[in-house]
Structure 1
């Protein structure tokens, strides 16, 4: 009886211990990594926006790289970089359009990655809003990162403004009502610049009238990515995880991102 009790005690101890699982990288590493980011070059802002948009908004069209260092006794180079934080693939912060909004370092990193649902809007006409009905059958959940693919092409001359299909106010409101985890686009903006310009000329004021999509997205505390690149490479893929982490600028109203898609 004594030995039976000892055996039962050892068996109970063994069963109570959790089996240690070996870490297997093959279970978490993606089959493919697709880069959705811009190469930050000196001419990126003008190349992406076009000269007309840069001048309309009164912005500087170049990123400045200033190298410092030494040649001897060893070759060393560092750089000071004056970067346009909305001039390529980037994440907007709420204080981009609201002086009291949160800044870029306030984002929870858990909100900046998740499964992807891509809406192909490349067949829609430029400067025409994408209607709400187009998204109704597009199954979305609170865990999804919604990417609007427009096949954006930057202006090809010095007088054209950026043109692309864009979300109607109703469609954007639908996304924020779910609410999706994040919203992204390969276009220059989630807004229409031509509509913004028309609104200015019509005397409209206020974010809710001039930039209604930004206004609604940030009101609902949803991260917004713009000007992603290479999104078309994702159209025939499944099981995609998006990751887009910003630089942690103090009081930053936006930041370039190294956005990637993990394909499983």
Structure 2
């Protein structure tokens, strides 16, 4: 098999969503400190991390969209290993809306149907163009409500995008989140390296969340798996 990593690297002060707490990553104990603590027997280094559940590459839980939604620890794992396709939307302008017509044209160009019970990853080129500059947090294109309904109508369990939010910054993005709750789907944010999937057809997407009690989201190690 061929595995393509679609996950952003996590490190101290990784760019995080505006208004969310920063990602803090540091040394808890050095090898030397541990060695001394063990009576000079053996040194085991360890680190710590503090972050929002929406940090880095992550999947939003339905609980994020409304109190009635599932928390991440109850999200079906069957939805986390699914067939997927990737659509080329790099021609869409920064901050612009992606509608059903753009999605349909991209599917036709890809030459593979939307997998029912699967996922659609949207390659806008935003991560490659802007990360880690400040524009990464503001200038993304994204789907509108009609496009979200179009995806749900084709039976996806979620969709993913290479930016911090599924829709363009502002009201449209908030309405897309609400639509996901109403349509019983969710989305994955802050993917990267989607360009490596273009033109390669269907793959298996894997993105397993942490089992955080009552979590509104979770970081995932997102990968695409191709049979060789």
TM-score range, shorter chain: 0.7 to 0.9
Q: Is contact 1:184-1:224 (8 Å) kept?
A: yes
Shift of residue 66, structure 1, vs aligned partner: 4.6
Match of 1:222 in 2: 185
CA distance, structure 2, for counterparts of residue 129 and residue 223 of structure 1 = 18
**From 124, 132, 141, the counterpart of 1:150:** 124
- Secondary structure of the residue aligned to 1:118 is strand
What are the equivalent positions in structure 2 for 1:78-89 lying under 5 Å apart?
78-89=46-57
CA–CA distance in 2 between the matches of 1:96 and 1:255? 11
Distance 1:173 1:230 in 2: 26
Report Cα offsets for 1:112-156 as digits up to 9, x if no partner.
122212111111101111121223353324233111111112363
1:108 pairs with 2:71: no
Report the Cα distance in structure 2 between the residues aligned to 1:225 and 1:111, rounded to whole angstroms: 12
Structure 2: distance between partners of 1:65 and 1:215: 36
| Distance in 2 of aligned mates of 1:162 and 1:119 | 22
Structure 2 unmatched ranges of 5 or more: 108-112
Say if 1:64 and 1:81, in contact at 8 Å, map to a contact too: yes
**Structure 2 CA distance, aligned partners of 1:110 and 1:97?**
20
- The aligned residue for residue 94 of structure 1 is 62
With normalisation by structure 1, the TM-score equals 0.73
Q: Aligned ranges for residues 120-135 of structure 1 at < 5 Å?
A: 120-135=88-103
Q: Which runs of 5+ in 1 are unaligned?
A: 1-29, 200-208
Structure 1 residues 161-213: Cα deviation after superposition (integer angstroms, max 9, x where no partner): 521221122111111122212211111110221xx1xx4xxxxxxxxx76111
Structure with max Cα Rg? 1
RMSD, aligned CA: 2.2
Secondary structure, counterpart of 1:258 in structure 2: coil
